[in-house]
Copies of this chain bind each other. A is one copy, B any other.
Amino acid sequence: MIDLKRDGDVFVLRFDAGENRFHPDFIDAVGVALDEVERTEGPGALVTVGTGKFYSNGLDLEWLGANRDRFEEYLRTVNALYARFLSLPVPTVAALNGHAFAGGAMLALAHDFAVMRTDRGYFCLPEVDLGMSFTPGMSALIQARLTAPVAHEAMLTGRRYTAAEAQAAGIVARTAAEDQVLPAALELAASLAPKDGKVVGKIRTDMYAGTLAALRGPVF
């Protein structure tokens, strides 16, 4: 489902579950991997990457359909995942090998930077077209990481951003051809790995104190 490897100072967490939707087991497995990343002493950085056409499509709507009574608990778990990334004491880079949709797009925004594949794949918040809204924490995350006009358009129109459009909008830091997405993300992560993770975590946690509070607060 997921796979954690190390490439020099950089951990590579590969999501390997098709659309990489957030099944509770998937979220748990990611949490265990992040525990290992956090435990490691010395220089380090983390790259996450999906497989094939998908980085992640976000919420596991199939699981949710079968567990409607656990909706609130589930949203808390997802928000906690974003909060975990946003407060991780390690620089993080999302390698967007493919679609980053909805919750998967938000996961990308919870990283320090993202590198996006140029030939195909979109960054998209389709909630408005699915009849869904955002938890207060999700709104706070998106609005804290994007400029106001970009957050507005992304959240209210469900626009699908190509890599070039996402870079122009400041959603992703870099773009790369399919086979260069992971190498570019590794390079960026390696350049950040020498930084003191505790300091990175402290600065980031301070910067996004309000966002983290919202992600840890009520989901409705």
| A60, CB-defined interface residue at 8 Å | no
Q: Are B112 and A156 in contact (CB under 8 A)?
A: yes
Whole-angstrom distance between the Cβ of A190 and the nearest chain B Cβ: 13
Interface residue A170 (Cβ < 8 Å from any Cβ of B): yes
Nearest residue, chain B, Cβ from A209: B136
Q: Which residues of B contact A139 (CB under 8 A)?
A: 203, 206-207
- Residues of B contacting A173 in the complex (Cβ-Cβ under 8 angstroms): 149, 153
7 more A-B residue pairs beyond the given contacts A131-B196, A146-B148, A156-B204, with a C-beta to C-beta distance below 8 A: A133-B199, A133-B202, A133-B203, A136-B206, A144-B148, A145-B149, A146-B149
Residues on B with C-beta less than 8 A from A147 are 147-149, 170
Residues in B neighbouring A134, C-beta threshold 8 A: 203, 206-207
B155 touches A207 (CB 8 A): yes
A195 to B152 Cα, complex, angstroms: 15
A194 to B55, CA, bound (A): 28
Give A181 to B148 CA distance when docked, in angstroms: 24
Contacts of A192 in B (CB 8 A): 157
CA separation between A146 and B207, bound complex, in Å?
A: 13
Report yes or no: B128 in contact with A203, Cβ–Cβ below 8 A: yes
